[in-house]
Amino acid sequence: MNDKIIKEKGASAVSPPLAAILSFIIPGLGQTFSGFIRRGILILLSAGSMTGIMIWRIVDLGYRAGVGWPVFVRAFERRPVFVFIMIFCIAAVWLLSVRDAWICAKERRKPFFGVFLVVLLGFFIQGWQIAEIDPVRFVIEAPEALGPLSRVIWPWKAAITFDERNVAANAQVLDGEGEAPVRAPKIEGRPYLHVEPNVGALTTQDENYKPVPGTKVTLTGTDFEPNTITEIWWIDPVNNKFRPRENKEYLQVTTDSGGAFTMEMTLPYVMVSGDKGTNFIHTIEARQTFKIGGPKASDALKQTLALMVETIFMGMMATMFGIILSIPVSFLAARNIMSGSKVTLAIYYLTRFILNVIRSIEPLIWALIAVVWVGLGPFAGIIALTLHSVAALGKLYSEAIESIDQGPIEAVEATGATRLQVILFGVIPQMISPFISFSIYRWDINVRMSTVIGMVGGGGIGFILMQYIRLLDYRSAGIAVWFIAITVAILDYVSAEIRNRLM
Amino acid sequence: MVFQHFNLVKRLSVTNNVLSGRLGYTKNGSSLFYRFSEEDKEKAAAALKRVGLSEQAHKRASELSGGQQQRVGIARALMQEPKIILADEPVASLDPVLAHTILGDLERLNKEDGITVICSLHYLDLVQRYATRVIGLRDGRVVYRGTGEDIRRMTDEEFKEIYGEEAKRVSAGPTITGKPA
């Protein structure tokens, strides 16, 4: 019986039981032999890839458990639900494919696509596991994110600063054993800080990383400004300054009406305390801060503003270079202009190909290459954005050239106009609207792109945004994010408005 | 030349569209800045007045209705001071009322200025009303020769001979060329 007759008569090459057995041996084989070749291949591919990914995940989950069965046991111990559902899915696909083959061979029609639903379920579960999706964690750890998030959302505290005057006094503490540091002499009328005792042990960690509290000391301050909050600062031997915390609160105290205070503190955990048996002298500082004069723009605000301007201009320069370079390119990539001879057609295909390749590589990757070439800074970003703009605009412009209406050109030619006049009166007026529209759209894209291109060293606001985030300075990062959002929103509106009017 | 689809440069103003009819007489240098001589401008204003579009002179061509656009096309053709105007189905994309307006305009040019108008049309009622001489073409060959008056008296048999067996007397068929003397 040849293939043609099967199709015409609708009979199967194999009997239903044989098709079922074939599909039992290899899923999809029965369908293939019953004449549903594409369905068979699809079932084979999906069952195969599902099983393959499953094996990979089980080996991944059960690593270090040896070879064979122990790997599976280990994987099942770690992720019982996942392994169970996957085995269920694979078994279901297998059995459903047998049933599927039976129906294909017997009733000469495609059965219900239940088998593919199970395949989809299997891939969904695998995706869930591979992508480490964890809704529980998402909810439980939300409070952790609230602090940084609230600072990013309302960062304006960091936008202003005041000049400050400090009233401060130091006292030294020896970590370990030995001779106590010499106390500074008390000078009448000057603020003074006394630590008792001034020899002790810092907070350390035991082998389970549990804190072992250090010595409790009493701080006594005199001759500070009265009724003022006084911050406690810690200065370690290499002059790092930080504010120690107890019970998650920064240590501080308010002076009484005579400018004096007394408080207790536990010597904190300090990373630099070094090897055991090394005795270092640390310094405790009590500090009162007073604002002088009015509010001033903070460094973060000034830096962000300057870089925002740089970013906008980066986008603008890249767009301009992009426009200039893409105009000639777009003619080379316009089919109606290049279809004259085989040579020009070859140039057309080559240009199109190059444009497609450049466009398919993200500006961020171009920026990485440009940074190697011209070094860090906005110029690298401009090169990256220009390259991408040329490719994108070249394509858009060339499509505008291709869709030009021949009618007006014919009419202008009919008046006896010269070639130049035909271009001026027939071609350019038709091009100008899409041309400006695409260019402004590109400017919009380029400014948006240049906000992130700094993250790979391409200059602009992305660079400092990245730096703020790495320094955990979420307020300053928030200022940068706000500026980016405002700029992009304005630009979006303006470019849409201009394009609307042009249309 | 007057076109079926008007072929105006839609983004240019009506005046500039009309002035583009003068390009054959303008130097490259001045058209680079879209500049025309005062004389040409006056001529354009006069041409627009003749087709009744003085009000619309500064609008963009795309803002006009179909009939108005075709009249701009006629004004553009006038700018070349033609002896003959070739109108390629000038009313094919217009409704019957506008068709009569446009053909009326062309008729006036013919009667007042003595410009010969060669006009291709589909509909015999328009041909009856406006044509002085009619040539019927089919597959590039002349199949009919007569006057507007002849068309009025045309029998159904003659009609079928020209248009083919399946044609009814209202439908479109081969090109009928009306040529007022």
> Cβ of A411 and B28 within 8 Å?
no
Kindly determine whether residue B20 and residue A412, on different chains, have CB atoms separated by under 8 Å.
yes
Query: Going by C-beta distance under 8 Å and a sequence separation of 6 or more, which residues neighbour residue A464?
Result: A303, A304, A307, A454, A480
Q: Is B159 on the interface with A (CB under 8 A)?
A: no
Q: Which residues of A touch B24 (CB under 8 A)?
A: 415-417
Inspect the interface and report whether the beta carbons of B22 and A415 lie closer than 8 Å: yes
CA distances from A494 to A461, A488, A489, A500, A501 (A): 21, 10, 9, 10, 11
Q: State yes or no: cis peptide before A197, omega within 30 of 0.
A: yes
- The whole-number pLDDT of residue B3 equals 82
H/E element holding A44?
helix A37-61
Instruction: Tell whether B22 is within 8 A of chain A (Cβ).
Output: yes
Q: Residues of B numbered 43-82 whose beta carbons fall under 8 angstroms of chain A's beta carbons: which are they?
A: 73, 76, 79-80
Q: Which residues of A touch B (CB under 8 A)?
A: 407-408, 410-412, 414-418, 420-421, 424-426, 429-430, 432-433
Chain B neighbors of A400, CB-CB under 8 A: none
Residues of A in contact with B61 (CB under 8 A): none
Q: What's the pLDDT at B40?
A: 85
Identify the closest residue of chain B to A407 by CA–CA distance.
B7
Check A421 against B12: CB less than 8 A apart.
Answer: no
Q: Which residue has the tokens 């071609």?
A: A427
What pLDDT, on a 0 to 100 scale, did the predictor assign at position A314? 93
**Cα separation of A254 and A286, whole Å?**
11
Give residue B52's pLDDT: 82
Q: Which residues of A touch B26 (CB under 8 A)?
A: 421
State residue A3's pLDDT score.
43
Residue B121, classed as helix, strand or coil, is: strand
Give the per-residue pLDDT at B130.
83
Q: Which residues contact B174 (CB under 8 A, 6 or more apart)?
A: B136, B137, B138, B139, B143, B162, B163
Measured distance CA(A389)–CA(A386) in Å, rounded: 5
> What pLDDT, on the 0 to 100 scale, is given for residue B169?
57
Q: Do A421 and B26 touch (CB under 8 A)?
A: yes
Judged by DSSP in three states, B102 sits in helix
Q: Does B26 touch chain A (CB under 8 A)?
A: yes
Using a CB-CB cut-off of 8 Å, the residues of chain B touching A424 are: 31-32, 34
Neighbouring CB atoms inside 10 A of A91's CB total 11
Residue B172: pLDDT band (50, 70, 90) is: very low
Task: Residue A265: count other Cβ atoms within 10 Å of its Cβ.
Answer: 19
Report how far residue A221's alpha carbon sits from residue B80's, in angstroms, rounded to the nearest whole number.
102
Q: Do A416 and B1 touch (CB under 8 A)?
A: no
The residue that leads in pLDDT, B3 or B174, is B3
* Pairing of the two strands A280-297 and A211-212: unpaired
What is the average per-residue pLDDT within B87-97? 81
Model confidence at B150: pLDDT above 90: no
Distance from CA of B172 to the nearest CA of A (A): 24
Q: Do A407 and B22 touch (CB under 8 A)?
A: no
CA atoms within 13 A of residue B97's CA, in its CB half-sphere: 2
- Please name the amino acid found at residue A275: D
Task: State how far residue A416 is from chain B, nearest Cα, in angstroms.
Answer: 4
pLDDT band at B174 (very low <50, low <70, confident <90, very high): very low
Q: Under an 8 A CB cutoff, do A411 and B1 touch?
A: yes
Nearest Cα of chain A lies from the Cα of B145 at a distance, in angstroms, of 29
A51-104 residue pLDDT tens: 999 999 988 888 877 788 888 888 888 889 999 999 999 999 999 889 888 888
Measure the CA–CA gap between A310 and A487, rounded to whole angstroms: 12
Which of A416, A418, A429 has the CB atom closest to B12's CB atom? Answer: A429
User: What are the pLDDT digits (tens) for A366-405?
Assistant: 999 999 999 999 999 999 999 999 999 999 999 888 888 8
How many Cβ atoms are within 10 Å of A326's Cβ, its own excluded? 26
Strands B176-178 and A192-196: unpaired
- Which of A407, A421, A432 is facing B23, going by the closest CB pair? A421
Based on the number of CB atoms within 10 Å of its own CB, is A399 exposed (0-12), middle (13-18) or buried (19 or more)?
Answer: middle
Hey, what are A56's tokens?
Answer: 């990979």
Higher pLDDT, A69 or B35: A69
d(CA B158, CA B175): 15
Q: A429 and B11 in contact by Cβ < 8 A?
A: yes
- Please list every residue in chain B whose beta carbon sits closer than 8 Å to the beta carbon of residue A415: 20-24, 76, 79-80
B29 touches chain A (CB under 8 A): no
Q: Rounded to a whole number, what is the distance in Å from the CA of A408 to chain B's nearest CA?
A: 4
- Residue A31 CA to residue B21 CA, distance in Å, equals 71
Two structure tokens written together for B105: 């305009």
Check if B23 contacts A (Cβ < 8 Å): yes
Q: What confidence score (pLDDT) does residue A1 get? A: 40
In this model, does residue B133 exceed pLDDT 60?
A: yes
Q: Are the beta carbons of A407 and B6 separated by less than 8 Å?
A: yes
Mention every residue, 6+ apart, whose C-beta is less than 8 A from residue A218.
A195, A196, A262, A263, A264
Chain B nearest CA to A142, separation (Å):
56
Residue of B nearest to A406 (CA): B7
* DSSP 8-state class, residue B109: I
pTM assigned to the model: 0.66
Of A410, A417, A432, the CB nearest to B24: A417
Mutate to test the interface with B, among A415, A432, A436, A502 (most CBs of B within 10 A): A415
Judge: A416–B24 Cβ closer than 8 Å, yes or no.
yes
What would you measure as the largest C-alpha separation in chain A, in angstroms?
A: 116
pLDDT by residue for chain A (503 residues), tens only, comes to: 444 334 444 566 778 888 888 888 888 888 888 888 888 899 999 999 999 999 999 888 888 777 888 888 888 888 899 999 999 999 999 998 898 888 888 877 777 778 888 999 999 999 999 999 999 999 999 998 898 899 999 998 888 888 888 888 888 888 888 888 888 888 888 899 999 888 888 888 888 888 888 889 999 999 998 998 999 999 988 888 899 988 888 999 999 998 899 999 998 888 765 566 667 888 999 999 888 888 888 989 999 999 999 999 999 999 999 999 998 898 888 887 787 788 989 999 999 999 999 999 999 999 999 999 999 999 999 999 999 999 999 999 998 888 888 888 888 888 877 777 887 888 888 888 888 888 988 988 998 898 889 888 888 899 899 999 999 999 999 999 999 999 999 988 988 888 888 76
Residue A420: list chain B partners with CB under 8 A: 28, 31-32
pLDDT at B143 over 90: no
Contact assessment for residue A267 and residue A203, using Cβ atoms and an 8 Å cutoff: yes
Q: How far is B152 from chain A (nearest CA, A)?
A: 34
Which pLDDT belongs to residue A193?
Answer: 92
Average pLDDT, chain B: 78
Q: Please count the CA atoms within 13 angstroms of the CA of B72 that sit on its side-chain side.
A: 33
> What does the alpha-carbon distance between residue B122 and residue B114 come to, in Å, rounded to a whole number?
24
